[in-house]
Amino acid sequence: MKKLLLFFIVISLTAAANAGMIVTNLSLDGEGVINATDAYNTTVSPGVGIAAEYLGGMQGINNMKVGLGSEYLFPRAVTAGGYTGFMPVYVTGQYAFCSTGSWKPYVKVNLGYDLVFNGDSAFKFNNSAVLNGGIYYAAGLGSNICKDTIAELMYSTYVGSWSSVTPSAGTLIANDTYTVLGLKIGYCFDLSK
């Protein structure tokens, strides 16, 4: 929680200095899949998440915005047992490919690191596993749907690693790759106004 608070303080200070925009959003994720390097694959139930991003324009490129963001996925059920969630911090970029009146569609890419990869005792095999973060990346399309409200369709991949020591099997190490398609509804706070 301290990392998340520190991240939002940094975004606030950066935003105040550059007068871009802050976007907050709620994500509604569909059913996803966790594929693991140890051949353990499982389905993950639909879930919700919240995110905040700071975006600023790029000098000389009118249609391009870049920035920083963070997202928190509320825990979601895993069919193999337990609950899991992620919290990535990332850089983001979006490019508006056309602008016709109030309709401003764009493509978007996120790249970052999962600061938190968590799970309950059932997901962590009775608390025997140690969970660590991993790479996060996402790509998708978005557009404004009202004056300051946006909608995005993003395909996201969250990677986390876990290790566990058991008397019978020794040390087990695996990467969990969670992929999901989500709809994000957001509100833009324009700091230049």
Tokens standing for residue 67: 């920035």
pLDDT in tens, 103-140: 789 999 999 999 989 988 888 876 778 889 999 999 99
C-alpha–C-alpha distance, residues 22 and 192, integer Å: 11
For the whole model, what pTM was predicted?
Answer: 0.85
Would you give the end-to-end CA distance of the chain in angstroms? 31
Q: What residue spans of the chain are helical by DSSP H?
A: 2-18
Identify the band that residue 16 occupies on the pLDDT scale cut at 50, 70 and 90: very low
Please list, in sequence order, all residues whose beta carbon lies within 8 angstroms of the beta carbon of residue 168, skipping any fewer than 6 positions away: none
**What's the total number of domains in the chain?**
1
Q: What is the CATH number of the domain that holds 80?
A: 2.40.160.20
pLDDT in tens, 31-60: 999 887 766 778 999 999 999 999 998 766
Arithmetic mean of pLDDT over the chain: 84
C-alpha triplet 163, 166, 168: angle, nearest 5°: 135
Q: What domain range includes position 30?
A: 2-190
Strand-pair partners of 163: 130, 173
